[in-house]
Amino acid sequence: MKSHPKSDTSKQLESKLRRSLMLTYQRLYTLGFGVGNDGNGSARINSTQILITPRGVDKARMTPKDMVRMELSGRVFKSGQLPSSEHLMHLEIFHTRPDVKAIIHSHAPYATALSFSKLTLTENYLPELMLALGPVPTVAYAPTGTQSLATAVGVAIKSPQVCALLLERHGVLAVGDSPEAALQRLERLEHGCKILLLAASSFGALSPLKET
């Protein structure tokens, strides 16, 4: 029996997203933004379903088949893997921001280190960073995988102007139109955080630019 064209298109998109998440996390691992099974990512398939990286699997060795399909209601489609322990955070973002197509979360070292400080990237410390990403709020610490963290992240990313967040004592996340686009933002943020930490270690306390 011939498949319905819409069904074929949906399957092709899911296949493409599975491979995209795999390649994105291979790239993230190569960049040194994660080790072992750290971090998690997701991509929207349609208005009701997402793909998310699996729990407890080495991200550099994932295959497309490892990605877990979920409904935004939280129901998990049967597969050989469990969804990321951070799935509540991903679902909250997708519910809050219908424009978001992909989310990448990692424990990138410089961004995570900066999250310990009082420096807030909602102010303009680095013009290129502000120009590229806009304000980057820091979400106050909440235990990983909890609804309290998911809720706090949803509040912080509610504005369409926000495309990245620092998670205090935890890591960083970025959103985008694709896993690749989200990773590009995360990479840019990690580089900016490295510059700011180097500047602070060399010259002491930093001051944001004043509005002109």
**Tens of pLDDT along 108-167?**
999 999 999 988 999 999 999 999 999 999 999 999 999 999 999 999 999 999 999 999
Number of domains forming the structure of the chain: 1
Cα gap 54→37, rounded to integer Å: 9
pLDDT at 38 over 80: yes
pLDDT tens readout for residues 47-78:
999 999 999 999 889 999 999 999 999 999 98
Mean pLDDT confidence for 181-198: 98
Which residues sit opposite 187 in a β-bridge?
A: none
Q: Classify residue 209: in a domain, yes or no.
A: no
Q: Rg (Cα) of the chain, in Å, rounded?
A: 18
Handedness of CA 178, 181, 187, 188 (dihedral sign): negative
Mean pLDDT confidence for 173-178: 98
pLDDT at 2 over 60: no
Q: Classify residue 208: in a domain, yes or no.
A: no
pLDDT tens readout for residues 71-94:
999 999 988 899 999 999 999 999
Query: Cβ contacts of residue 51 below 8 Å, gap of 6+?
Result: 14, 17, 18, 21, 42, 43, 45, 67, 68, 69, 70
Q: Classify residue 211: in a domain, yes or no.
A: no
Q: Classify residue 24: in a domain, yes or no.
A: yes
Cα gap 51→25, rounded to integer Å: 14
What is the strand order of the sheet 138-139 is part of? Answer: 68-71, 49-52, 40-44, 102-106, 171-176, 164-167, 138-139
Q: Classify residue 212: in a domain, yes or no.
A: no
* pLDDT band at residue 184 under the 50/70/90 scheme: very high
Q: Classify residue 210: in a domain, yes or no.
A: no
* Token reading at 173: 């996340």
Residue 115 in contact with residue 138, Cβ under 8 Å? Answer: yes
For residue 69, the domain's CATH number is: 3.40.225.10
Range of the domain at 119: 5-203
Q: Classify residue 19: in a domain, yes or no.
A: yes
Q: Classify residue 96: in a domain, yes or no.
A: yes
Query: Can you point out the beta strands (E) in 16-78?
Result: 40-44, 49-52, 68-71
3 state SS of 1: coil
